[in-house]
Amino acid sequence: MPELPEVETTRRGIAPHVEGREVSEVIVRQPRLRVPVPTDLVDRPVGARVGALARRAKYLLVPLEGEAPGTLLWHLGMSGSLRIVRIGELPRKHDHIDLVLDDGAILRYHDPRRFGFVDWLAGTPEQDPRLSRLGPEPLSAAFDGERLFSRSRGRRLAVKPFLMDNAVVVGVGNIYAAEALFLAGVDPRRAAGRISRERYERLAGAVKEVLAAAITQGGTTLRDFVGGTGEPGYFKQRLNVYGRDGQPCRRCGGELRLVTLGQRASVFCPRCQT
């Protein structure tokens, strides 16, 4: 699933091509996504000008300015991607939606599994219930070790699913939670409420470091993901634990172990993570 770095990579890749452009046409080839495409999506954005793209957690926000302003709320689901193509480039299988712009560029949505969606928000995006209950962005000053420490008191939940809770902090998905816990030397099985403030400070720093590095590398491509320019993400080459169960730890040489936490696979090093 595209996680925060992949969505941020997408935003940065498509923003220069769509911001300030006018939407001249919307083409919906497949309306049956995880959430059905609104029936009026082919009409609402036409004639509107695209504002500054934003990201909240794993959601991409495309503001549209005009007589009836609104925002397209986009989620890439398990296998979705948004990329820029030019008029005349024939759609491939699973190219479900096109936003045709006034300069001949097309913002094209591709989603083989159809677990993503796009919705129209007429009001303030922050008031939408999918966004209003979210925790702070992990790369912001609002997220730090003190927040993790205070929110974890009394919690018996393992620290890895605790870190992946969007009410605690947004956008730290399975890949990056595993990598941050390894970098911080924290066992993912340890109860969240039994971790010290000092170790949470280290973990918060590791989350920021891992996510920043992943964004610089264009995200992680395991199967389907490509960024806004059609390029895969290269952070896969830097993964220390995710997907490497049974292989030697890059730090100590010991064998990495696989466990299941919160119904998600988690790989860790029993020697380096305590």
Binding-site positions for DNA read 94, 113, 155
Assess whether 255 carries a catalytic annotation.
no
97-128 residues labelled b (16+ CB within 10 A) or e (exposed): bbbbbeeebbbbbbbbebbbbbbebeeebeeb
Assess whether 236 carries a catalytic annotation.
no
Q: How far is CA 25 from CA 44, 98, 214, 219, in A?
A: 10, 8, 34, 30
Assess whether 151 carries a catalytic annotation.
no
* Active-site residue, from 2, 45, 125, 188: 2
End-to-end Cα spacing for the chain: 28
Q: Concatenated DSSP letters for 165-203? A: -TTTSSS--HHHHHHHHHHHT--TTSBGGGS-HHHHHHH
Question: Helix 197-216 crosses helix 145-152 at what angle (to 10 degrees)?
Answer: 130
Nearest to 79 by CA among 191, 224, 205: 224
- Token couple for 218: 């264009």
Query: Is the Cβ–Cβ distance between 63 and 52 less than 8 Å?
Result: yes
* Active-site residue, from 250, 264, 270, 271: 264
Going by the annotation, the residues of the binding site are 94, 113, 155
- Token couple for 152: 């974890």
Assess whether 2 carries a catalytic annotation.
yes
* Active-site residue, from 21, 44, 58, 151: 58
Catalytic residues: 2-3, 58, 264
